[in-house]
Structure 1
């Protein structure tokens, strides 16, 4: 546990974080994230954060050392996609029980599980995750992993991020520390080149990185490692030979980017692939960094030519949506890089931003929002469900872009909603992704169902005059009576 404390303290004292540098020594020790409230860590503990960062590594077996519920809580918690291996979709757990805890069988059970995975699947590596239970009873997963690696001639990586040590964001960073300590640099690639880059913090949600990679391929830029989206173990193990890096989500892996720069001279910048302008800027920054690292300057001209071509295609497609969406009001209830990159992307086609959440955003993210929106009146740390419902029901926004947890608030307010978080079904990155995002917003806003559900229910339209149907024994007379009744009462229903 002493080594874990040292890692946590190192992560808290992150010098690359501008927010952290502005604190005094006492405040810096408390870290960048709020401490967890006991009982309120579901879906947001350090273990969950570590699993989010590492599980998309597709050809690795991810073994959770703890009770069964821990693996159930974190399995497939993001919509990441793989272009090949499916081993990452298989759940592995030691399924620790009360009897195992009492009898001290945890470490033995872990070693046996590693052996079974090696024999049955033969993966290039096994990642072993500690949990609250195994950390509290003192199971030394690092010693077990070291012994198993030597015994089975296999990379066995301990991920020491039990849930109780902190928030999900802390778990993200501890996962980065595990990669630095046990994976990156473990393999020396024989094909390193001057156009190799790393992409950090890209999760390939709904396969959206596959919309960006072809652009890099056309420029002759090779993504040596995308961490973690659609990654392979050997790619990450040789990531230290890249010449430059782009960091997509700084709050998750800023420590990884900084330490790779310090150890292997891999400069990085933070960028976004959401929106036309931001995608173009990201491509320019990648090319400029490579040139500074020794690449041929001719790549700058090729990059500008590619940008001009792709922007022309994208703007031509977006022109069809501008008359339908210009002036429409969007409320964003998300966080991180999306709090500013999506704002910028939507404003490019004339959509008005009435508000964006900044709960999970860094100080740098908030500054970008201020520059884009020209003020901070549309920024909110968090909005209570009641306030969010009131804003939507009063029609202050035409659509809500958020995660799945707030979709029912929008539906109750009879307001269009679009998933912008990790559960989404459509890729929104790059030029084509921006067109797809605008298309989905257009479909949601102009869906005729919203006009129908906003109309009063039929049972709210009561007749102003009630008449009783005349009684008669003759069928013909009855039919005439019904027709007469319908004719005399047709105009006597109240207005809805």
Structure 2
């Protein structure tokens, strides 16, 4: 447990974070995340954050040393996609029971589970995750993993991020520490080249990194490791031989990028593949870093030629959407890199941003938003559901882009909504991804269902009967009798 405390302290003291450098020693020890309240939902625990970062490594077996509910709660918590192995989608857990805890059988049960996975699946590595229960009862995860690795002849990686130690973001960083300590640098590749890069903090949600990788392939740039999206254990183990790195989500793995630069001299920059301009800028910066590390400068010219070609194609496709979307108002309720990169992307085609959330954004993210919007009034730290509903029901936005948890607020306000977080079904990265994002916004805003749901409900309207008055004397007498009994006349009936 003392080693875990040391790791947590090291993560809090993050030199690559501009905000952290400005704190005094006491404030730095407290970290950036708000303290957790026992029993309260805080957007995920440290175990959840570690699982988010590591589970997209697709050929690894992910073993949860905990009661069954811990694995059930964390399984498939990101819409990451794989181009090959499917082992990462198989749930493995030691399924600890009360009797196991009382009798002290946790470590033996873990060792047996590792052996069974090795014999049944033969993975290149097994990642072991303790949770609150196994950490509190004192199971020595690192000792068991070390013994199992020696016994079975494969890497068994302890991921020390039990839920009670902090927030989901802390778990992200602890997962990066596990990769640094046990995986990266353990294998020497025989094909390292001057155009190898790492992409950090890219999760390949809905397969969107597959829209970017072909651009890099055309430039002759090889992605040595994409961590964690569609990753393989061997690629991550060789990641220390890349020449440069791009950080996509700094809130998750900034510590990994910084320490890889310190240990293996891999320079990095933070960029985004959302939007035409940001995608082009990311390609430029990758090429420039490679040239600084010894690559042929001719790649700079090829990069500009590729950018000019792809931008022309993308803008041509977007021409049809501009008159339909220009001036439309968007409320963005997300965070992290999307809080500024998507803002920039949407403003490029004339969409107005009426608000963007920065709840999960770093100080650097917030500064980028201020530079883009030129107005702090459109930036909110967090907005209560009641306030979101009021804003949407008063028609201050034409559509809301957010995660699945707030979709019902928009639906209740009869406002179009589009999922832009990890559960989304469409890829939005790169040039083609930007076109797809605009297409989905257009489909959502102009869907005829919104005109229909905003009309009065049929049961709120009285049927119009004036034009269908009875023609015979007997029918007229019957109608008058009914009206006299009900105390109404034909004049009381009307349409909506």
Task: Give the CA deviation at 1:462.
Answer: 2.0
Deviates more, 1:331-340 or 1:474-483: 474-483
**Structure 1, residues 229-278: CA drift from partner, whole Å, max 9, x if none?**
00000000000000000000001000000000000000000000000000
Are 1:136 and 2:130 matched, yes or no?
Answer: no
Q: Conserved in 2, the CA contact under 8 Å of 1:470 and 1:481? A: no
C-alpha distance in 1 between matches for 2:494 and 2:410:
30
Pairing 1:27–2:19 present: no
Query: So what's the TM-score if we normalise by structure 1?
Result: 0.95
Instruction: Give 3-state SS (helix, strand or coil) of 1:6's partner.
Output: helix
Q: Deviation digits for residues 91-123 of structure 1, max 9, x if unmatched?
A: 000000000000000000000000000000000
1:432 shift after superposition: 0.1
Does the aligned pair in 2 maintain the 1:46–1:164 contact within 8 Å?
yes
User: Are the aligned partners of 1:471 and 1:478 in contact in 2 as well (CA < 8 Å)?
Assistant: no
Q: 1:387 to 1:185 in 2, by over 3 A?
A: same
Cα shift readout 1:123-148 (whole Å, capped 9, x = no counterpart): 00000001000000000100000000
The TM-score, its normalising length taken from structure 2, stands at 0.95
1:336-389 CA-partner distances (Å, limit 9, x unpaired): 000000000000000000000000011110110000001211000000100100
The whole-number CA distance in structure 1 between the counterparts of 2:150 and 2:413 is 59
Q: What is the Cα deviation at residue 494 of structure 1?
A: 3.7
- The DSSP-based 3-state class of the residue aligned with 2:170 is helix
- Sort the Cα spacing of 1:481 and 1:112 in 2 relative to 1 into closer, same or farther, 3 A: same
Q: Do the aligned partners of 1:416 and 1:450 also contact (CA within 8 Å) in 2?
A: yes
Provide the residue aligned with 2:386 in structure 1.
386
Matches within 5 A, 1:303-452: 303-452=303-452
**1:458 to partner: Cα distance:** 1.1
Q: Per the alignment, do residues 213 and 487 of structure 1 end up closer, same or farther by CA in structure 2, a change over 3 Å counting?
A: farther
Higher alpha-carbon deviation: 458-467 or 267-276:
458-467
Report if aligned partners of 1:16, 1:258 keep a CA contact under 8 Å in 2: yes
Contact 1:63/1:127 (CA < 8 Å) preserved in 2?
yes
Please give the per-residue CA displacement for 1:371-429, whole angstroms capped at 9, x wherever unaligned: 00012110000001001000000000000000000000000000000000000000000
Shift of 1:43: 5.1
Distance in 2, matches of 1:491 and 1:53, equals 69
Contact 1:464 1:492 in 2 (8 A): no
Q: Give the SS at the match of 1:418.
A: strand
State the shift of 1:198 in Å: 0.1
**Unmatched tracts of structure 2, length 5 or more:** none
Which residue is 1:300 aligned to? 300
CA shift digits 1:200-226 (9 cap, x unpaired): 000000000000000000000000000
Change (3 A) 1:491 1:333: farther
How far did residue 324 of structure 1 move? Answer: 0.2
CA distance in 2 between counterparts of 1:488 and 1:36 reads 63
CA drift of 1:484 comes to 19
| Cα pair 1:463 1:492 within 8 Å, conserved | no
Q: CA deviation at 1:488?
A: 15
The 8 Å contact of residues 466 and 490 in structure 2, kept in 1 or not, is answered as no
